[in-house]
Amino acid sequence: MRNYEVETAERTAWIREILEDAGARGVIFGNSGGKDSALVGILCKKATENVLGVMMPCETKTNYGTDQEHAVLLARAFGIENSIVDITLCKQALAHELKRVNDITSTAASNINPRLRMASLYALGQSLGYLVAGTGNKSENYTGYFTKWGDGAYDFNPIADLTATEVFEFLRYLGAPVEIIGKPPSAGLFEGQTDEDEMGVSYYAIDKFIQTGKGHPLDIEKICKMHKQTEHKRQTPRAYSSLFTIST
């Protein structure tokens, strides 16, 4: 197990250095009411007083219910400033306009949500002089379980090297609300959505494979397939270079 006392000190010092180098006044992050965003919010608050968590509900009952309740619970427990930006009408208006060009698949439609959240965070962050903190963990990054140019976009990420299991452990060490620690991981993309159901594999299996290379053959097959198919998400976008030559 990691030494989370040392981890806390090192990560908060790292955040302060990033803010100083960028001349930024503070940090803004999407406060979803989930575990990853909770850990990011707590670490950022320990690094600087100027932290704004933004709840951005969109369409689902959970977004407007327990997600918001848990986001508020986190903010109150750790003295984090909290705001709400409701993106439902914006998403619906955009989806309506897009359908005039072509039918939008359910997956494409659900990915509009995190991209609108990214745009909201950057608009507010730039206006406040704040940097945007990422909230994705190592398990999500390895499997590509994030939205490109959505929750995959950020200025810095203080938990990118932590597996989902380690995020649980870190939150327990920091005394995060048990309601947040105990809830099933979900991106809240649609009604009843959970990460593990959508991926078809548990975070426990993903973390075991990442750390040991071992696991059930079917789990390993799914994990490796997700990793390969989402490689483009972890790469710098390809740009044409005049140095390119055709081999003969």
Query: In this predicted model, what pLDDT tens digit does every residue of 223-232 receive, in sequence order?
Result: 999 999 999 9
Q: Where are the domains of the chain?
A: 4-195
CATH class label, 4-195: alpha beta
Residue 190: pLDDT band with limits 50, 70, 90 = low
pLDDT at 155 over 80: yes
pLDDT of residue 33: 95
The 10 Å Cβ neighbour count of residue 62 is 18
Chain center to CA of 106: 20
Q: What is the pTM of this model?
A: 0.90
Name 219's Cβ contacts closer than 8 Å, sequence gap at least 6. 201, 202, 205, 206, 209
Per-residue pLDDT tens over the stretch 61-116: 888 888 999 999 999 999 999 999 999 999 999 999 999 999 999 999 999 999 99
pLDDT of residue 183: 82
Q: Across all residues in the chain, what is the average pLDDT?
A: 93
The 10 Å Cβ neighbour count of residue 215 is 20
Name 71's Cβ contacts closer than 8 Å, sequence gap at least 6. 31, 32, 33, 37, 53, 55, 82
